[in-house]
Amino acid sequence: MEPNQAKLAVEESSCGGGRGPAVRTICVFCGSRPGNRPSFSAAALDLGKQLVSHWITHSQSDRVRQSVAILLELEVMLMLMLALALSKCQVERQLDLVYGGGSGGLMGLVSKTVHDGGRHVLGVIPSALLPQEVSGETFGEVKVVRDMHERKSEMAKHADAFVALPGGYGTIEELLEIIAWAQLGIHNKPVGLLNVDGYYNSLLSLFDKGVEEGFIDAAARNIFVLADTAAELLTKLTAAAVVDDDGAAAAAGVKRKRS
């Protein structure tokens, strides 16, 4: 695919063009605790809302404009303002969720928000963690598996892309393994880091140190996408998912290494 074609493909995917979003299910890695900062919980709620919001295509915008014209015939200024807003294709989504199956912390916030928004939620949890991570109501479908290895494999199987919110050792381990799988060519699904309040800055510095010391290839340093907000991150993930080869990925601002 030529760079210009790749750019067009990305633009179409983010403006409701032809084929719609390539990403339909997001795997979210996140903490079973809320963390100490309110911004972590706020980011989890915002991510859930961004996942369940609706696509507004140009044809749908036209229908809404017609209804507005009928109902607001005399409100010319309001109609013009509304038409202007609707003429811009909304980068919104209807995405399902797969996550670690816990009921508390950031896990609980994301899963409840997506479930309440009418999207499918799949929680995958090892039987040994049920007493620790399921202390209240769970939302959607919960699949109990044998161990952590099966949990990660099952989550990866159902996901089209991956997002990491703040979390502890488990979240970081899941994130690093899915990045390593991408580097090894086991999958080519996009991976995103939601860097809320700079939570992952130290990890990013460690990656830079790995490049500096010759343990990580410079190209592999950018194997994932990074953003401070859920909306920006999901837009980048969608753009990364619709490109098909390394040249297209580079045109979309996403570099991947396949060994």
pLDDT tens digits for range 158-189? 999 999 999 999 999 999 999 999 999 999 99
Confidence of residue 54 (pLDDT cuts 50, 70, 90): low
What fold, for 3-54+93-251? Rossmann fold (3.40.50)
DSSP-assigned states of every residue in 147-192? SHHHHHHHHHHH-SEEEE-S--HHHHHHHHHHHHHHHHTS----EE
Buried b (16+ CB within 10 A) or exposed e, 66-102: eebeeeeeeeeeebeebeeebeebbbbbebbbbbbbb
- Two tokens, residue 109: 């916030």
229: DSSP letter: S
Whole-prediction pTM value?
0.74
pLDDT in tens, 108-161: 999 999 999 999 999 999 999 998 888 778 889 999 999 999 999 999 999 999
User: Can you give the three-state secondary structure of 59-105, one letter per residue?
Assistant: HHHHHHHHHHHHHCCCCHHHHHHHHHHHHCCECCCCCEEEECCCCCH
Give the pLDDT confidence score for residue 148 in this predicted structure.
93
Confidence category of residue 92, pLDDT binned at 50, 70, 90: low
CA distances from 249 to 173, 239, 254 (A): 25, 9, 5
Q: What tokens appear for 222 in the block?
A: 């950018």
User: Domain limits of the chain?
Assistant: 3-54+93-251, 56-89
State the alpha helices, DSSP H only, in 104-145. Answer: 105-116, 130-133
